[in-house]
């Protein structure tokens, strides 16, 4: 009578061993050779397991997920592109993803970054050198062939996005990827919008870069764009602080009166019209705002402490808005 429970326990233990061997530790049956697997940023352990199973790197998504959980590594899986060997088994794949032994990095380029900032971000991630990236993108942009016209200085055309860049990628490869992305998301799909706007693509990108740097919250973008369009129509100087900062070549929390005297074609306090080129690389929403400004007759705006703006039609209203904004900052 006592042998029966023991035999049941033995059978259960054997079942666990078989399950462990079949679904967790054994490599999948299939062709040999390494497989490139891309793990997106923010992927959960479940999603990583599904991706590996879809690529036949592991036999079972459930088994890989269980292995990660049993080893306490579910929250340690790192994004990127991995070259994995299915024949090495799930444990080897898990170890590589935990260590982040990637063949390529996901690198995010924020909206509003300048060429110099992009180069610094790429170098920090192990892709190229910041100074070489800056030199090529600023002075040798005409060496890149695309479906849209662009100047030699590529400021404004390096589309902000998240890119998967192989380790060891050249600066040229990164630039080409960003230009191709600009073509696919801006130049080609918005060609009709640009034509209807009465602006060239270059003018649109310049204006969008001003919107990107001035508008800190999304709802203000079409309104900032409206102010710029209205002032251009009235032949008023744009007087955009962000252009002064670009001319100075450094960021400041507050633009002072003496800064407004900087001798630069980018200084829109001293020079009429748009600056000669973009002052940053704008995102898609700022480009759309440049093409489709709000239908308002505002001519002025001033920033509140929270980054939003007060918009005004007259200089007198603007002066009152400045006083209101300053009281808010003082409070």
Q: Give the model confidence (pLDDT) of 69-122 as tens digits.
A: 988 999 999 988 888 988 888 889 999 999 988 888 889 999 999 999 999 999
Q: How confident is the model at residue 140 (pLDDT cuts 50, 70, 90)?
A: very high
Average pLDDT value for residue range 7-23: 55
One domain, residues 177 and 233? no
**What CATH number should be reported for the domain holding residue 58?**
3.30.1490.480
Give a yes or no: residue 193 inside a domain.
no
**Could you give the CA distance from residue 254 to residue 257 in angstroms, rounded to a whole number?**
10
**Residue predicted with more confidence, 31 or 38:** 38
Domain that holds residue 175: 106-187
CA 159, distance to chain mean position in Å, is 8
Give a yes or no: residue 279 inside a domain.
yes
pLDDT value at 198 more than 90: yes
**Residue predicted with more confidence, 11 or 133:** 133
Query: For the residues of 182-240, what is the DSSP string, one character each?
Result: HIIIIITTTHHHHHHHTS-HHHHHHHHHHHHHH--SGGGHHHHHHHHHHHHHTT-----
Task: Please give the pLDDT value at position 63.
Answer: 87
- Domain boundary residue among 102, 132, 152? 102
Task: Please give the pLDDT value at position 169.
Answer: 87
Q: How confident is the model at residue 1 (pLDDT cuts 50, 70, 90)?
A: very low
One domain, residues 146 and 248? no
Q: How confident is the model at residue 12 (pLDDT cuts 50, 70, 90)?
A: low
Give a yes or no: residue 144 inside a domain.
yes
- Domain boundary residue among 187, 222, 250? 187
**Could you give the CA distance from residue 21 to residue 103 in angstroms, rounded to a whole number?**
29
One domain, residues 300 and 256? yes
- Domain boundary residue among 158, 187, 216? 187
Structural domain count, the chain: 3
311's tokens? 């918009």
Task: Please give the pLDDT value at position 330.
Answer: 57
Task: Please give the pLDDT value at position 256.
Answer: 84
Q: Enumerate the β-bridge partners of residue 82.
A: 37
One domain, residues 46 and 145? no
Q: How confident is the model at residue 32 (pLDDT cuts 50, 70, 90)?
A: low
Task: Please give the pLDDT value at position 28.
Answer: 56
Give a yes or no: residue 10 inside a domain.
no
């Amino acid at each position: 009578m006592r042998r029966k429970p023991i035999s049941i326990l033995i059978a259960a233990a054997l079942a666990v061993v078989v399950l462990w061997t079949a679904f967790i530790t054994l490599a999948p049956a299939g062709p040999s050779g390494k497989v490139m697997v891309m793990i997106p940023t923010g992927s959960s352990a479940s999603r990583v397991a599904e991706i590996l199973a879809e690529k036949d790197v592991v036999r079972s998504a459930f088994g890989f997920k269980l292995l990660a959980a049993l080893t306490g590594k579910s929250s340690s899986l790192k994004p990127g592109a991995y070259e994995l060997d299915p024949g090495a088994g799930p444990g080897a794949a898990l170890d590589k993803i935990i260590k982040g032994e990637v063949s390529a990095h996901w690198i995010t380029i924020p909206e509003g970054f300048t060429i110099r900032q992009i180069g610094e971000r790429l170098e920090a991630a192990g892709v190229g050198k910041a100074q070489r990236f800056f030199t090529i993108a600023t002075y040798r942009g005409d060496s890149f062939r695309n479906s849209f016209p662009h100047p030699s200085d590529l400021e404004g055309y390096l589309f902000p996005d998240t890119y998967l860049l192989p380790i060891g990628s050249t600066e040229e490869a990164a630039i080409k990827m960003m230009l191709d992305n600009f073509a696919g998301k801006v130049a080609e799909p918005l060609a009709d919008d640009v034509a209807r706007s009465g602006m060239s693509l270059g003018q649109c990108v310049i204006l969008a870069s001003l919107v990107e740097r001035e508008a800190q919250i999304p709802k203000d973008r079409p309104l900032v764009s409206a102010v710029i369009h209205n002032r251009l129509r009235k032949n008023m100087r744009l007087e955009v602080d962000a252009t002064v900062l670009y001319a100075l070549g450094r960021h400041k929390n507050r633009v002072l009166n003496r800064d407004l005297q900087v001798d630069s074609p980018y200084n829109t306090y001293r020079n009429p019209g748009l600056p000669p080129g973009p002052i940053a690389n704008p995102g898609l929403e700022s480009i759309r705002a440049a093409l489709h400004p709000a239908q308002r007759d505002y001519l002025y705006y001033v920033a509140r402490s929270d980054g939003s703006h007060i918009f005004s039609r007259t200089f007198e209203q603007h002066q009152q808005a400045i006083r209101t904004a300053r009281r808010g900052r003082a409070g």
